[in-house]
Amino acid sequence: MDEMFIRPIQLMQIGEQQDTGIKAIGKEGVSLFKDIFQSAIEDVVTTDTQLNQAEYLLTTGQLDNPAMITTAAAEATLAVDLLVQLRNQAQQAYTQLMNINI
């Protein structure tokens, strides 16, 4: 039940990369993009699981604080919205790159 508490927002250090061992030119940006997208996908899965668990606990009468459902639902919605916006921005950037005349 401890996983249902609100986690503080952690800043993403986009300018600083972790050492992935990839030294080829251009691979750092791909790895960073993949890590950000993977993190957003994992957040969607995690928040959805937490929402389902809170709904189950409420349905079975084991949940003492019904406000946790609202919080879990808001977190799940925000995680999905963030993932959709990341996808939209990536798609828009790709489209702009494809439209560049050389």
Q: What are phi and psi of 80, to 5 degrees?
A: -65, -40
**55 lies in which domain range?**
26-98
**Residue 18 confidence (pLDDT) above 60:** no
Count: domains in the chain: 1
User: Is 18 a domain residue?
Assistant: no
User: Is 53 a domain residue?
Assistant: yes
**Residue 29 confidence (pLDDT) above 90:** no
Structure tokens, 24:
């080829």
What percent of the chain has a predicted confidence (pLDDT) above 90?
A: 54
- The domain that contains 39 carries what CATH number? 1.10.287
Summarize pLDDT for 53-84 with one digit per residue, the tens: 999 999 999 988 989 999 999 999 999 999 99
User: Is 93 a domain residue?
Assistant: yes
Alpha-carbon distance of 29 to 32, in angstroms, equals 5
Cβ pair 4, 68 in contact under 8 A: yes
User: Is 2 a domain residue?
Assistant: no
User: Is 7 a domain residue?
Assistant: no
- Strand, coil or helix: 85: helix
Q: What does each C-alpha distance from 16 to 42, 88, 93 come to in angstroms?
A: 21, 24, 21
User: Is 84 a domain residue?
Assistant: yes
Alpha-carbon distance of 23 to 6, in angstroms, equals 38
CA torsion, points 70, 72, 75, 80, in degrees to nearest 10? -110
**Residue 3 confidence (pLDDT) above 90:** no
**Residue 1 confidence (pLDDT) above 70:** no
